Amino acid sequence: MFTDLKLEFEKFLNHSFANFMFVDGVSGMGKTSFAKETINEFNNLHKGETSVLLTQAPYIDNEREFIRSLLRDEFVFNKKMSKTNLKTILLTKLSNCRYLVIDDSQNLLISRRLLMNHFWLMSWLVNETNIKVMYLGTIPFQEFLEEYDTIFRRSVVYNLKAS
């Protein structure tokens, strides 16, 4: 079922100038399972590397909490740690990664401010680390992306349909 998506993902990862890939499809279709399977395959090919990170999209309009969610496996944070320090740690972690998967990306649509802040952070991360980012969600992002030209120009959109 995911043969086309797998081909598109491999093209995105290895041959595309795009930094962002948005995959949408109805709930229960297997987007997360696809991502986990792809991550396992990728990590088996690149043993010893932290090649891929999988995280959930944030529910709250708080960049600091999203950064902490990406770093959740690293260590226990001091709640007073500055956002600048968190970003430095995040850059170090992502410098060893090839791509990042953000699941439940429809959560970013809770507010315009959340989406804007998230895209600003992700643009910065991509520019600093050259990482590729795949978003998985149930709501098509196409119309939302058109408002964010810096993301839209660097994106691939894939609509997953049941066969």
Q: What percent of the chain has pLDDT over 70?
A: 87
Tokens of residue 84, six digits:
């600048």
- pLDDT, one tens digit per residue, over 94-134 is 887 888 899 998 888 888 888 888 888 889 989 998 899 99
Among the listed residues 80, 76, 143, the one whose alpha carbon sits nearest the alpha carbon of residue 106: 143
Domain count, the chain: 1
Of 135, 151, 159, the C-alpha closest to 18 is 151
101: domain CATH number is 3.40.50.300
Residue 53 has pLDDT above 80, yes or no: no
pLDDT digits (tens, 9 = 90+) for 15-35: 889 999 999 988 888 888 888
132-137 and 52-56 beta bridge pairing: unpaired
Which residue range forms the structural domain that includes residue 116? Answer: 3-159
Average pLDDT value for residue range 61-73: 73
- The label of the residue with tokens 């120009």 reads 153
